[in-house]
């Protein structure tokens, strides 16, 4: 008896997900599910949660290989500013180059109830949302606190 196999499609466009599902079905995979890996930061201090998410976005933005993602999302200018700040060794400017629109598009971040509400945008769109806490410029204790808050407030009903 062979082991069941599935295909998980993380962060792809809906069109890419459909193509993957069709190809997997033709190849005999038993199941196809869609997942979105989402940066998630929850804190009673909404501004802190959003700063943490912005710092992680800045970290990703400093890497040129992510330029295509930022371009596709309409954030080429911000990504360029992040890379320039990184080249200058200015971490504060890197984070400062992350716009509120970037945080809104690339993360769920804010007060715990707000994050739970933001996650609703994926209802009926993907099968699973995998929450990933920011780790850049965040203490291990805060990562653990964030994870506990996300589990408490954002677990499926």
Domain-embedded: residue 50: yes
85 in Cβ contact with 97 (< 8 Å): yes
Among 7-16, 123-132, 144-153, the range scoring the smallest mean pLDDT is 7-16
Answer yes or no: is pLDDT of 10 > 60: no
Q: Is the pLDDT of residue 9 over 60?
A: no
Task: In whole angstroms, give the CA distance from residue 115 to residue 108.
Answer: 5
Residue 82 lies inside a defined structural domain of this protein:
yes
Domain hosting 27: range is 6-154
b vs e for 33-72, b when ≥16 Cβ sit within 10 Å of the residue's Cβ? ebbbebbbbbbeebebbbbbbbbbbbbbbbeeebeeebee
pLDDT at 33: 72
pLDDT per residue over 15-42, tens digit each? 676 777 778 778 877 666 777 889 999 9
Q: Worst-scoring range by mean pLDDT, 25-34, 74-83, 92-101, 113-122?
A: 25-34
The DSSP line for the chain is -PPP-EEEEES--HHHHHHHHHHHHHHT-SEEEEEEEEEEEE-SSHHHHHHHHHHHHHHHHTSGGGHHHHHHTT-HHHHHHHHHHHHTT-HHHHHHTS-HHHHHHHEEEESHHHHHHHGGGGTTT-SEEEEE---TT--HHHHHHHHHHHHHHHS--
Least confident of 23-37, 52-66, 127-141: 23-37
Question: Which CATH number fits the domain that encloses residue 120?
Answer: 3.20.20.30
Domain count, the chain: 1
pLDDT tens column, 39-57: 999 999 999 999 999 999 9
Asked if residue 32 is part of any domain, the answer here is yes
Q: How much is the pLDDT for 131?
A: 93
Give a yes or no: residue 1 inside a domain.
no
């Amino acid at each position: 008896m062979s082991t069941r196999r599935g295909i998980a499609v993380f962060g792809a466009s809906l069109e890419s997900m459909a193509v993957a599902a069709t190809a997997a079905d033709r190849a005999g995979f038993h199941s196809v599910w869609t997942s979105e890996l989402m940066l998630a930061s929850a804190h009673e201090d909404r501004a802190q949660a959003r700063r943490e998410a912005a710092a992680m976005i800045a970290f990703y933005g400093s890497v040129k290989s992510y330029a295509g993602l930022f371009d596709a999302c309409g954030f080429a200018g911000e990504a360029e500013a992040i890379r320039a700040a990184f080249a200058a060794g200015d971490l504060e400017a890197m984070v400062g180059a992350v716009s509120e629109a970037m945080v809104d598009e690339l993360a769920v971040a804010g007060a715990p109830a707000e994050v739970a509400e933001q996650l609703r945008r994926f209802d009926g769109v993907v099968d699973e949302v995998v929450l990933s806490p920011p780790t850049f410029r965040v203490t291990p204790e805060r990562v653990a606190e964030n994870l506990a808050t996300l589990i408490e407030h954002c677990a499926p009903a």
